[in-house]
A and B are shown apart, each in its own frame.
Chain A
Amino acid sequence: MTCTEFLAMLDELIDDDVSAQTRSELQEHLNGCEHCEVTLNTTRKTIEIYRSHEVYELPNSVRQRLHDAIMARCKHGC
């Protein structure tokens, strides 16, 4: 397996959407390729960081104001 072929399957590997056969081929490539191992690990980390850190917080005060506006309109028929 080449690095390009490995990369083409990167998402499937990360999302655990591969057959046992493909997985072992990918694993075999990883064992001999430090670059692809770094790419896999750092891509996983990228996703994990974005998943666990809220980039755009909605402050409670704004949230309350939006709720009030939405509910007021709903109650009076939008």
Chain B
Amino acid sequence: MATIQIGENEQHPDLALVASARTGDVQAFETLVNKYDRQIFRIAQHITQNREDAQDVVQDAFLKAYEKLDQFQGNSKFYTWLVRIAVNESLMRLRKRRTGKMVSIDDDIETDEGSVPRDLADWSPNPEQNYGQAELAEILRKTIQGLPHGFRIVFVLRDVDGLSTEETAETLGLSVPAVKSRLLRARLQLRERLSRYFRNKKAGEK
């Protein structure tokens, strides 16, 4: 997990790496790349839904971060600053794919789906064990891809990546209440959709 709880007066270890990188220590920057590239790839892939675009975003986001290191204020974490760059790069790629149509994290959220739980059957114990590794990954991918991307990205940052509500809000340029409402609906929609696969099967049911 990327986030490490540290005391208020303690300096986040990334800050020293950023300071070194600023003075031209490329190795220090490489440490940061090693530390966060997987998470950045994951975020980019969740937004762009395209493998090549996501790889390009990883490259462009880190290069942009390196270029702009001087502008990093240090009042937010390096990671959240980096994520913000990656989210913007991802939205730009998405826009290109959609031939210039404006894309924002506010798209497609006008839906009531999932705000009231409908499938109330309990799940079988450890339902993921009923599926093979590859099959499970496919189910999880398909399920989360069906979410509006303004919900999906909040869920990924907050629940998968472990950012706080405030950090998620800051990173996406959303208000805290907006993040909270999206998170609840994202969680409920995912739950509802996964229920199709994980619910306890009645006898004779396929």
Contact = CB atoms under 8 A, between A and B. Distances in A.
A47 B59 contact: no
B105 to A, nearest CB: 19
A54 B75 CA distance: 30
B66 A55 contact: no
Nearest to A14: B187
A38 B55 CA distance: 39
Contacts of B187: 10-11, 14, 43, 46-47
Contact of B63 (A10, A43, A54, A70): A70
A55 B128 contact: no
**Chain A interface: which size bin?**
20 to 34
A39 B29 CA distance: 44
SS of B interface (majority): helix
B141 interface: yes
Contacts of A46: 187, 190-191, 194
Interface residues of B, number: 45
B70 to A, nearest CB: 12
A46 B114 CA distance: 14
B120 A66 contact: no
B117 interface: yes
Given A35-B120, A46-B191, A55-B137, A70 B33 contact: yes
Interface string B40-53: 01100110000000
A49 B194 contact: yes
B121 A51 contact: no
Residue from B30, B38, B62, B136 whose CB has the most chain A CB atoms within 10 Å:
B62
Given A10-B184, A43-B188, A50-B159, A70 B195 contact: no
Contacts of B54: 56
A66 B140 contact: no
B123 A55 contact: no
Interface string B172-206: 00000000100110011011001100100000000
A35 B122 CA distance: 9
A67 B117 CA distance: 44
B4 to A, nearest CB: 16
Contacts of B163: none
A53 B184 contact: no
A38 B41 contact: no
19 contacts: A7-B116, A7-B188, A10-B188, A14-B187, A35-B117, A35-B120, A38-B122, A43-B187, A46-B190, A47-B159, A50-B160, A51-B159, A51-B160, A55-B42, A56-B46, A58-B41, A70-B59, A70-B63, A74-B66
